[in-house]
Structure 1
Amino acid sequence: MLQVPARIGGRPVGAAEWIEVRSPYDGTPVGRVPALTAAHVAEACTAAAAVLARRDFPQHARAEVLERAAGLLTERTEEFAVTVAREAGKPIADARGETARCADTLRFAAVEARKLAGEMIPMDASRAAAGRLGLAVRHPAGVVAAITPFNFPLNLVAHKIGPAIAAGCPVVLKPAELTPISAIRLVDLLVEAGLPEDWISVVTGTGPATGEPLVEHPVPAVVSFTGSVAVGRRIQRAAAGKRVLLELGSNAPVIIEAAADLERAVAAVRRGGFSYAGQSCVSTQRVLAHRSVYGAVLDGLRGAAGTLRLGDPLDGRTEVGPLISAAATARVAGWLDAARRAGAEVTGGEVHGTLITPAVVADPPRHLDVYRGEVFGPVITVTPYADLDEAIALANASDFRLQAGIFTPDLGAALRAANDLDFGGVLINEVPTFRADQQPYGGSGAAGNTREGPAYAINEMTELRFVSVSA
Structure 2
Amino acid sequence: MKETKLWIDGQWQATEDSYKLISPYSGDVVAHVAKASIQDVERAIEGAQRTFQTFKKTTAYERAEILYRVVDIMRQRKEEFAEILALEAGKPLTAGLAEVERTIATYQFAAEGAKQAKGETVPMDAAPGAGDYIGWTKREPLGVISAITPFNFPFNLVAHKLGPAFAVGNTVVLKPATQTPLSALTMAEIFKEAGLPDGALQIVTGSGGELSDTLITHPYVKKVTFTGSGKVGLGIKEKVGLRKVTLELGSNAAVIVEPSTPIDKVIKRCVGGAFNFAGQVCISLQRIYVHASIIDEFTKAFVEETKKLVVGDPFDKNTDVSAMIHPNEIERIKGWIEEAQAQGAVMATGGVFTERTLTPTVMTNVKADMKIICQETFAPIVSIVSYETLDDAIRLVNNSDLGLNAGIYTNILSDALYAAEELQAGAVIINDIPTFRVDNMPYGGVKMSGYGREGIKWAIEEMTDMKFVTMKKSF
Shorter-chain TM-score above 0.5: yes
What is aligned with 2:31?
Answer: 31
* Residues 272 and 284, structure 1, Cα contact 8 Å, conserved in 2: yes
Q: How does 1:273-284 map to 2 (within 5 A)?
A: 273-284=274-285
Provide the residue aligned with 1:22 in structure 2.
22
Q: One-letter code of the match for 1:107?
A: Q
**1:401 corresponding residue in structure 2:** 403
Q: Which residue in 2 is equivalent to 1:435?
A: 437
Structure 1 position 71, deviation (Å): 1.0
| TM-score normalised by structure 2 residue count | 0.97
Residue aligning to 1:212: 213
Q: Any conservation in 1 of the 2:330–2:355 contact (CA below 8 Å)?
A: no
2:229 maps to which residue? 228
- How many angstroms apart in 2 are the aligned matches of 1:295 and 1:145? 49
**C-alpha contact 1:171 1:200 (8 A) present in aligned 2:** yes
Aligned to 2:70: 69
The answer to whether the 8 A contact 1:203-1:210 is kept is no
- The answer to whether 1:345 aligns with 2:338 is no
Per the alignment, residue 149 of structure 1 pairs with 150
Q: CA deviation at 1:29?
A: 3.1
Separation in structure 2 between the aligned mates of residue 395 and residue 24 of structure 1, nearest angstrom: 32
> Which stretch of structure 1 is more off in the superposition, 257-266 or 192-201?
257-266
1:417 paired residue number: 419
- In the aligned structure 2, how far is the partner of 1:246 from the partner of 1:167? 20
Partner of 1:286: 287
Give 2:35's aligned amino acid: A
C-alpha displacement of 1:365: 1.6
Deviation digits for residues 177-199 of structure 1, max 9, x if unmatched? Answer: 11011011012201111111210
- What's the offset of the Cα at 1:264? 2.1
Q: Secondary structure at the match of 2:139?
A: strand
1:178 aligns with 2:175: no
* CA–CA distance in structure 2, aligned partners of residues 90 and 264 of structure 1: 26
**Preserved CA contact (<8 Å) 1:149 1:176:** yes
Partner deviation per Cα, 1:324-350 (whole Å, 9 max, x = no partner): 001111111111111111111013121
Give the stretch that moved more between structures: 157-166 or 296-305.
296-305
Matches of 1:398 and 1:329 in 2, distance apart?
Answer: 24
Displacement of 1:297 in angstroms is 1.5
Q: How big is the shift at 1:110?
A: 0.5
How do 1:238-253 and structure 2 match up within 5 A?
238-253=239-254
Q: Deviations over 1:250-284 (max 9, x none)?
A: 00000000121111222111000001000000000
Structure-2 separation of matches of 1:398 and 1:70: 39
Q: In the alignment, which residue of structure 1 is the partner of 2:450?
A: 448
The CA deviation string for residues 433-460 of structure 1, in whole angstroms up to 9 with x for no partner, is 0100000011100000111111110000
Q: Is the 8 A contact 1:36 1:209 kept in 2?
A: no
The alpha-carbon deviation at position 363 of structure 1 amounts to 2.6
Counterpart-to-counterpart distance in 2, 1:78 and 1:164: 26
How far has the Cα of 1:212 moved from its partner?
A: 2.7
Q: Where do 4+ consecutive residues of structure 1 move more than 6 Å?
A: none
Percent identity of equivalent pairs: 39
1:140 alignment counterpart: 141
Give me the whole-angstrom Cα distance separating, in 1, the residues matched to 2:193 and 2:310: 38
Which residue does the alignment assign to 2:188?
A: 187
Displacement of 1:127: 2.8
Q: Compute the RMSD of aligned alpha carbons.
A: 1.0
Checking the alignment, whether the CA contact within 8 Å between 2:10 and 2:192 is kept in structure 1 is no
Task: Give the match for residue 106 of structure 1.
Answer: 107
CA distance in 1, matches of 2:291, 2:340: 22
CA distance in 2, matches of 1:48, 1:218: 12
Query: Structure 1: how far apart are the matches of 2:188 and 2:108?
Result: 15
Q: Could you tell me how far apart the structure 2 residues matched to 1:446 and 1:425 are? A: 14
Deviation of 1:416 after TM superposition, in Å, equals 0.8
Aligned counterpart in structure 2 of residue 360 of structure 1, from 362, 367, 386: 362
SS of residue in 1 equivalent to 2:151? coil
- Of 370, 378, 382, the match for 1:376: 378
Among 459, 462, 466, which residue is 1:460 paired with? Answer: 462
Residue 471 of structure 2 is matched in structure 1 by 469
Hey, what does 1:272 align to over in structure 2?
273
Residue 41 of structure 1 is matched in structure 2 by 41
Alignment gaps of 5+ in structure 1? none
Contact map agreement 2:51 2:198 (CA 8 A) in 1: no
Q: Taking structure 1 as the reference length, what is the TM-score of the superposition? A: 0.98
1:111-154 superposed Cα distances (whole Å, 9 cap, x missing partner): 11012111111112123221222110000122110000000000
Letter in 2 for 1:413: D
User: Do the aligned partners of residues 57 and 19 (structure 1) sit closer, same or farther apart at CA in structure 2, a change above 3 Å counting?
Assistant: farther
* Amino acid of the structure 1 residue aligned with 2:449: A
| Counterpart Cα distance in 2 of 1:317 and 1:77 | 18
SS at match of 2:468: strand
Is 2:148 aligned against 1:166?
no
- Whole-Å separation in 1 of the counterparts to 2:207 and 2:446: 28
The structural deviation recorded for 1:103 is: 0.5
The match for 2:300 is 299
Q: Is the 8 A contact 1:251 1:282 kept in 2?
A: yes
Query: 1:30 deviation in Å?
Result: 2.8
The 3-state SS of whatever aligns with 1:355 is coil
Q: 2-side partners of 1:191 and 1:128: how far apart?
A: 53
CA offsets, 1:279-312, max 9 Å, x none? 0000000000001111112212211211100100
Give the match's secondary structure for 1:352.
coil
Aligned residue type for 1:16: E
Q: 2:23 is matched by which residue type in structure 1?
A: S
CA contact (8 A) 1:256 1:265 kept: no
Q: Is the partner of 1:185 in helix, strand or coil?
A: helix
Provide the residue aligned with 1:2 in structure 2. Answer: 2
Instruction: State the distance in 2 between where 1:356 and 1:331 align.
Output: 11
Q: Does 1:83 align with 2:95?
A: no
Amino acid at match of 2:50: A
TM-fit CA distance, 1:173: 0.4
- The answer for unaligned runs of 5 or more in structure 2 is none
**Cα distance between partner residues in 1 of 2:416 and 2:58:** 46
